């Protein structure tokens, strides 16, 4: 089993991290997945005026680091490269992605289901493959071990591994006007981009525990109020968004456990 022919695989990799690319080559070769390397953007090499222009609108609770801006730009460039091809889907991987048993069957089942899906609740634009949550709304079975889920009011963070449709990539690229938040935090606001973001549970991809190429540790702030204000401003938009999808008592549908139940019911 390998990727369907209508799914392109791109691996984001910085020029200064050839060893990470070599490790990804080994992991993907073991799965029989052909991929194309796409050059990441090294935020440390952005000119100060570029950085200032890209971050002139800040919607986060603190200034973005140069590496976070570079990460965002790299993903946008990868989506543009995808849109320049005839592929229907893009498997976009960062170069620290590691694959669990059952990754390919779960991914193949998710793509096949998406091709024929008519229910708007299950017609995703972005499918997250990493960073599971403890609670979810089961939407559809994929394999005996995996199902399609909604993780609730907060889309999983990290951009280690995800699948994009052409429509979703087009909307996101057209909306891009700079890095107002880190890209994974922007994707936690899917209503702003008209995106439907779902996940595979249990997550079939994890991030290798290596040093981030974004650079440096996140600076710790002694003042908690900026983050609290940031989270408070998101409460109502998140609740409104998910209430429109599942009803105001959507939280009653959440399940909790290590794996989806076999034959998870359709929503």
- Per-residue pLDDT tens for 128-168? 999 998 889 999 999 999 999 999 788 999 999 999 999 99
Mean pLDDT within 98-120: 97
- Distance (Å, rounded) from C-alpha 265 to C-alpha 267? 6
CA distance 163 to 68: 21
What is the percent of the chain with per-residue pLDDT over 90, rounded to a whole number? 79
Contact 98/206 with Cβ under 8 angstroms? yes
Average pLDDT, the chain: 91
pLDDT at 216 > cutoff 60 = no
The pLDDT score that the predictor gives to residue 130 is 96
Domain covering 7-209+216-256 assigned CATH 3.90.550 in the classification:
yes
Q: Which two tokens stand for residue 206?
A: 């994890």
Which residues in 50-88 are b (16+ Cβ under 10 Å) and which e?
ebeebbeeeebbeebbbbbbbbbbbbbbbbebbeeeebb
pLDDT at 3: 93
pLDDT in tens, 249-258: 877 777 777 6
| pLDDT per position as a tens digit, 169-200 | 999 999 999 999 999 999 999 999 999 999 99
- According to DSSP, residue 8 is labeled E
Q: How far is CA 226 from CA 62, 155, 223, 237, 260, in A?
A: 7, 21, 7, 18, 36
Confidence band (pLDDT; 50, 70, 90) for 2?
A: confident
Mapped onto helix, strand or coil, the DSSP state of residue 158 is: coil
Do 66 and 46 form a contact (C-beta atoms < 8 A)?
A: yes
Residue 260, pLDDT score: 74
Q: Where are the domains of the chain?
A: 7-209+216-256
Q: Quick one: pLDDT at residue 215?
A: 55
């Amino acid at each position: 089993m390998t990727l369907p022919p209508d799914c392109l695989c791109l691996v984001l990799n910085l020029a200064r991290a050839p060893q990470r690319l070599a490790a990804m080559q080994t992991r993907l070769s073991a799965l029989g997945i052909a991929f194309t390397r796409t050059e990441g953007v090294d935020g440390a090499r952005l000119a100060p005026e570029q950085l200032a222009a890209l971050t002139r609108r800040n919607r986060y609770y603190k200034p973005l680091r140069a590496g976070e801006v570079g990460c965002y730009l790299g993903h946008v460039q990868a989506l543009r490269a995808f849109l320049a091809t005839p592929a229907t889907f893009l498997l976009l991987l960062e170069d620290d992605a590691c694959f669990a048993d059952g990754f390919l069957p779960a991914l193949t089942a998710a793509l096949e289901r998406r091709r024929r899906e008519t229910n708007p609740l299950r017609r995703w634009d972005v499918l997250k493959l990493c960073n599971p949550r403890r609670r979810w709304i089961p939407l559809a079975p994929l394999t005996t071990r995996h199902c399609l889920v909604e993780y609730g009011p907060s889309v999983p963070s990290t951009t280690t591994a995800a699948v994009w449709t052409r429509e979703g990539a087009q909307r996101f690229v057209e909306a891009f006007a700079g890095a107002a938040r880190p890209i994974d935090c922007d994707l936690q606001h899917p209503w702003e981009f008209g995106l439907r973001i779902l996940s595979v549970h249990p997550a079939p991809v994890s991030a290798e525990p290596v040093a981030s190429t974004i650079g440096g540790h996140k600076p710790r702030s002694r003042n908690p109020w900026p983050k609290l204000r940031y989270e408070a401003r998101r409460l109502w938009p998140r609740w409104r968004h998910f209430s429109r999808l599942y009803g105001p008592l959507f939280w009653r549908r959440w399940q909790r456990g290590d794996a989806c139940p076999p034959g998870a019911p359709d929503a």
